[in-house]
Chains A and B, each alone.
Chain A
Amino acid sequence: MAQPAERTPTLPPYAPVPEGTHAPLDFPGYRSTGLRAPVRQPVILPHRLTEVTGPLLTGPIRPGDDDLTLGEHGEAQGQRIIVFGRVADSDGRPVPDTLVEIWQANAAGRYAHRWDDWPAPLDPNFTGGGRVLTDAHGDYSFTTIKPGAYPWGNHHNAWRPAHIHFSLFGRAFTQRLVTQMYFPDDPLFAQDPIYNSVPEGARERMISTFDLDATRPEWALAFRFDIVLRGREQTPFEEPHA
């Protein structure tokens, strides 16, 4: 334990998250934060080895995990869509070979989960989970159905806008991100505290864009959702190293 630390000046930390990017943890409009958001200020964790590394997972992915419409007995009900985009860091560098996981409600707005019991139909051919790795350019693509909106108990007549949950790893613990993708022009945005918990100017980045060029004729509509993870701090100089 007493040996001198190895020293190599080659561990640039990740850039700080700009103010106004994420929601405050304590957001009273979203009632579940009330018993769960910490009240104390976080302690700063400088980026060291454990933070600038992370799991470079290549699985678990099985064939068909990128197509949520393939049910056990047939095709899922609903509007077939392609959800695709590029994962990059904030320096614009694509993030290749990184695991992207999604989960979502069915076309009627119901999750295939034992706790979701609102009276909308379940679809025996839709379980709602998908996984894919980005390719060498950081691109990913899923085939799924457009999820429905659903009510929840947060406030009177509360409805979640249609959304797909996304989970990403990037290359480092620091880059880990879970978010939600929304659809353009949803009239439910204005009353949704989860969407609006993110500051104006940033929340719009969670809205996918309809992409006619990527639409497959006589098959599926397409929505583009590009995702930006934290990038490295700009280093003031480059030092040669082994």
Chain B
Amino acid sequence: MSTDRPGQLTPSQTVGPYLALGLPWPDGPDVVPEGTPGAVTIGGTVYDGAGEPVVDAMIETWQADPDGRFDHPDDPRGARTPAVEGFRGFGRAATDDRGRWSVRTVLPGALPVFDALPVFDGAADVREAPHIDVSVFARGLLDRLVTRIYLPGNAEANAADPLLSSVPAERRGTLVAVAEAPDRYRFDIRLRGDGETVFLQI
């Protein structure tokens, strides 16, 4: 039962088809408020293994502010009030009846890499390229899927990014958004099969 073995992780389960009853918020897609200078839209379509849009998924995003900072006490540089007023860092958007999702945000900054991480390769000037962590939830997913959005304008930083470098070159493109306009990026997610998005194990 749930109490007799404390310390053992609670297992994940699917959100099922009815997540709309509990999870979406009116301002869920607003990582920054409407009217924020420099705001961009990042979004796309979620596809299943048959190439059909997934109309009952939910996407969540988590990212640093444009200075590469987090308003969080576990950031060893210290929690800091975001550089952009009203910046929440977090976005949540259910897919619509065509499988589309989007959030309004500002582009994240690059991040330092800290030494204590056992897998860090030790290069002195390595930084993480600007990125957004993504969770994908849907009926048929027994655990969330995790991926990352990188940005196409950062070719040099992306080339030096430790995670992107660890992904086979022919699949790296699934992690890089496409610029459709100066303030609009597309990031499609393919759950399975041809062009399958690179998913990450955390």
A residues engaging B (CB < 8 A)?
A: 1-14, 17-18, 21-25, 27, 30, 32-40, 42-57, 60, 85, 88, 90-92, 101-104, 111-113, 115-116, 127-130, 165, 167, 171-174, 176-180, 184, 194, 197-198, 202-209, 224-231, 241
Contacts and interface: CB of A to CB of B under 8 A. Distances in A.
Contacts of A5: 112-114, 124-127
Contacts of B131: 50
A45 B163 contact: yes
Interface in B99-158: 110-120, 124-128, 131, 133, 135, 137-146, 148, 156-157
Interface size range of chain B in the complex: 35 or more
Given A9-B114, A46-B117, A25 B125 contact: no
Interface of B is mostly: loop
Nearest to A44: B201
Interface string B1-42: 111011111111111111111110111000000000000000
Contacts of A85: 2
A18 B76 CA distance: 27
Nearest to B28: A60
B117 A11 contact: yes
Interface of B: 1-3, 5-23, 25-27, 48-50, 52, 54, 56, 60, 62-64, 70-72, 74-77, 88-90, 110-120, 124-128, 131, 133, 135, 137-146, 148, 156-157, 162-163, 166-167, 191-193, 196-202
Contacts, number: 294
In the complex, the 9 A-B pairs of residues with the closest C-beta atoms, listed nearest first: A103-B22, A32-B140, A36-B140, A55-B90, A45-B200, A53-B72, A42-B201, A23-B142, A9-B116
Contact of A92 (B3, B7, B128): B7
